[in-house]
């Protein structure tokens, strides 16, 4: 799964890397993006405008927003089967901008049950998660846009930590995801990103608290017996 991620680059750097359109005026770097928070999303391949949406999909038929806490991720293998994702997969695909994500590894022994690892593309470049979005109308008549991150089986570098990972799209593949394509033509995009193009390292457990949002969260920490901070 993907429960936390980062978007720490300057707006112009992200725009240049992914060939984006208009960027939000209130752009701020975030080192610990958590569910229910605003995330930077591109919902159309034409203007390629970046806008804020709530992380955690709220289907149009939902009675309230609480379901969004359960729908932060969508499994790529069952998108056509789940009522919450089926229509969005056909009509409302999006890009969720990021430059890294965290995963938790269960530890068999020791006082702390998990270790946290940070994953990036080589060079720390911006990328996009493959996502779906929806509009939900509140009882007061206000529209709320929300989104979910699609996950797939882990590649070799992530599999050491977790059996799932977010679907990563780079500059070469992200716009194909937003094109008007048949479902069978979209499936090849929902594949694990090449492990040789990624790096990972352990980071502070402060990530567990969404109130912490600083560059200290992505500083490598050395584990006992670990020869190197970076794993490739």
Is 152 among the catalytic positions?
A: no
Q: Catalytic: which of 94, 103, 147, 174?
A: 103
Q: In the numeric block, which tokens belong to residue 21?
A: 């359109």
Spell out the domain ranges in the chain.
4-218
For 151-181, how does the pLDDT look when each residue is reduced to its tens digit (9 = 90+)? 999 999 999 999 999 999 999 899 999 999 9
Superfamily (CATH H level) for 4-218? SOS response associated peptidase-like (3.90.1680.10)
For 205-217, how does the pLDDT look when each residue is reduced to its tens digit (9 = 90+)? 999 999 999 999 9
Strands (E), the chain: 4-7, 30-33, 38-42, 50-55, 73-75, 93-98, 100-106, 114-121, 127-137, 143-153, 164-166, 168-169, 198-203
- What distance in Å separates the CA atoms of residue 4 and residue 32, rounded to the nearest whole number? 6
What are the beta bridge partners of residue 144?
Answer: 136
Q: What is the largest CA-CA distance in the chain?
A: 57
Predicted local distance difference test score (pLDDT) of residue 222: 82
Average pLDDT, the chain: 93
- What distance in Å separates the CA atoms of residue 154 and residue 137, rounded to the nearest whole number? 35
Predicted local distance difference test score (pLDDT) of residue 1: 79
Distances (CA, A) of 114 to 79, 103, 106, 197: 29, 10, 5, 25
Strand 168-169 relative to strand 127-137, pairing: antiparallel
Confidence of residue 218 (pLDDT cuts 50, 70, 90): very high
The mean pLDDT value for 137-163 works out to 96
Is 2 among the catalytic positions?
A: yes
Which of 2-6, 28-32, 108-112, 177-181 is predicted with the least confidence, judged by mean pLDDT? 108-112
Predicted local distance difference test score (pLDDT) of residue 114: 84
> Dihedral angle at the C-alpha atoms of 28, 32, 37, 38, nearest 10 degrees?
30
């Amino acid at each position: 799964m993907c429960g936390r991620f980062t978007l720490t680059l300057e707006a112009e750097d992200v725009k240049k890397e992914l060939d984006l359109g208009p960027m939000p005026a209130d752009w701020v770097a975030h080192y610990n993006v958590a569910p229910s928070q605003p995330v930077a999303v591109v919902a159309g391949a034409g203007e390629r405008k970046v806008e804020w949406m709530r992380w955690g999909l709220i289907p149009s038929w939902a009675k309230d927003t609480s379901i969004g806490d359960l729908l932060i991720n969508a499994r790529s293998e069952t998108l056509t089967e789940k009522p919450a994702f089926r229509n969005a997969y056909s009509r409302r695909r999006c890009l969720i901008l990021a430059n890294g994500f965290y995963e938790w590894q269960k530890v068999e022994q020791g006082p702390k049950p998990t270790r946290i690892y940070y994953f990036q593309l080589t060079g720390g470049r911006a990328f996009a998660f493959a996502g779906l979005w929806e509009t939900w109308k509140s009882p007061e008549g206000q529209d709320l846009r929300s989104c979910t991150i699609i996950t797939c089986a882990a590649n070799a570098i992530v599999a050491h930590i977790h059996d799932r990972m977010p679907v990563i799209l780079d500059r070469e593949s992200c716009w194909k995801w937003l094109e008007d394509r048949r479902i069978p033509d979209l499936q090849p995009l929902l594949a694990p990103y090449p492990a040789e193009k990624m790096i990972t390292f352990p980071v502070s457990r402060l990530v567990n608290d969404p109130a912490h949002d600083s560059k200290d969260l992505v500083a490598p920490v050395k584990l006992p017996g670990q020869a190197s901070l970076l794993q490739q």
